[in-house]
Structure 1
């Protein structure tokens, strides 16, 4: 297992591997033969950035059996997904502010994220597995009341694309099987979500394969695998959110109403 991290230090963006509180600096392309420089940095000395720069962010709906059962929703025959604007992306540790144009309920959604490592088009599941670089933590924040605000058109993209509503990180973990793990979200010190990733309707390799038949996936692209039970709103003036997946780490953010 390797943990890859992107950061800003001394005004420059870099990347490397994280071991405890130490970053081993690398050069080149994270997804194509990166090379260690031999230099190290203390994690405390850098600004942690989102661990990739996606050309697109894809987010799944209804991808967990337990939530489908709770919602009395049918198991979909193919992935149901939307796109989040890249401008919604923000860093681990960032404070996210309530949009000025929206006064309704804002919810957290702790999720597994897939990071693509090489161009992937019309891929078989075997090819898709090789195209996955690694996995990360996602908080798919949503302005819930916007989705059904207009009866004639479900506004999923708008609800999920406000500035700051797409934090992910803090690292990309390679060499792990996330389906053996769980997603845990803690809001203001209280556990709100804790669900098994083995419950996915479309697991990572199948998901990447199927989506690659709809559109080309590029290195760095982020696929948010959907959430399960326990989603709720953030009601306090200041809300701390921690999304944890064993083997990846914890994505920490603050939401300010």
Structure 2
């Protein structure tokens, strides 16, 4: 299994490499291009893990699991339903989720599988799409729920999901991953809240990449969040969410305790 990570060394050095048996073999160059081993090695316990990639965008799907579609009473879509999350929303494992300033409403977690794009991808045929997938990772797609329908004239998907720190990604990008035989498990303060099979996806990863690439160009490092299934819930300040997928790893993030709201001017 090949697990790619990004990391920060205590002296501030940021690098990337392959994780094996608790050690990191550092690489140089471009993770998605001409990466070569640098000869340096680091102990995993001696570094801080970062988001394993720096996407130009996160494409986040909605209603992509049969179980959730049935629970919601929605028909399965004929094309992936998605929104775009900005790169500033991305954080890595262990980094705090920050409550938006002035927002005291409900914040929700969504444990998901993430597809990481490996090369520029435009108008790709379904049978060729697997060749554009670099690997897979875990995602917590965070939502400021009360903002979604704040204005009855316009559903604010991008605003409610696009705040800084609202796309938790990691801990690694796994290249040798069989999504058909894996489950997404989400735990909130050590209580299991989600446990669903990825085989229940409406659109497979290859279908997602192909169809979305006909809507927009996907770039190396971009991430498609495959959508979530049943069990979505809210996070209280100070609570920790851990999204784990066997074969990829565990992604922990805590909702930071909110600062006292500033008085209105």
- TM-score (ref. length: structure 1): 0.97
> What per-residue deviation string (whole Å, max 9, x for no partner) do you get for residues 127-161 of structure 1?
21100000000000101111111110000000001
Aligned to 1:241: 241
1:44 is displaced (CA, Å) by 1.5
> What per-residue deviation string (whole Å, max 9, x for no partner) do you get for residues 109-144 of structure 1?
000000000011000112211000000000001011
1:55 is displaced (CA, Å) by 1.1
Equivalent residue runs for 1:1-257 within 5 Å = 1-9=1-9, 10-235=11-236, 237-257=237-257
For residues 20 and 195 of structure 1, the distance between their equivalents in structure 2, rounded to whole angstroms, comes to: 28
The answer to whether the 8 Å contact 2:56/2:86 transfers is: no
> What per-residue deviation string (whole Å, max 9, x for no partner) do you get for residues 1-53 of structure 1?
20000012232221000013110111111112321122210112112111111
**Structure 1 unpaired stretches of 5+:** none
SS at match of 1:210: helix
Please list every run of at least 4 consecutive aligned residues from structure 1 whose deviation after the TM superposition is greater than 3 angstroms. Answer: none
Structure with a larger share of its residues in strand: 1
**Structure 2 unpaired stretches of 5+:** 258-265
The answer to whether the 8 Å contact 1:50/1:169 transfers is: yes
Aligned to 2:261: none
For residues 88 and 28 of structure 2, the distance between their equivalents in structure 1, rounded to whole angstroms, comes to: 26
How many aligned residue pairs are there?
Answer: 256
For residues 112 and 239 of structure 2, the distance between their equivalents in structure 1, rounded to whole angstroms, comes to: 18
For residues 212 and 8 of structure 1, the distance between their equivalents in structure 2, rounded to whole angstroms, comes to: 32
Q: CA RMSD in A?
A: 1.0
> What per-residue deviation string (whole Å, max 9, x for no partner) do you get for residues 187-222 of structure 1?
001000000000000110000000000111110001
For residues 216 and 135 of structure 2, the distance between their equivalents in structure 1, rounded to whole angstroms, comes to: 20
The answer to whether the 8 Å contact 2:112/2:138 transfers is: yes
For residues 207 and 8 of structure 2, the distance between their equivalents in structure 1, rounded to whole angstroms, comes to: 34
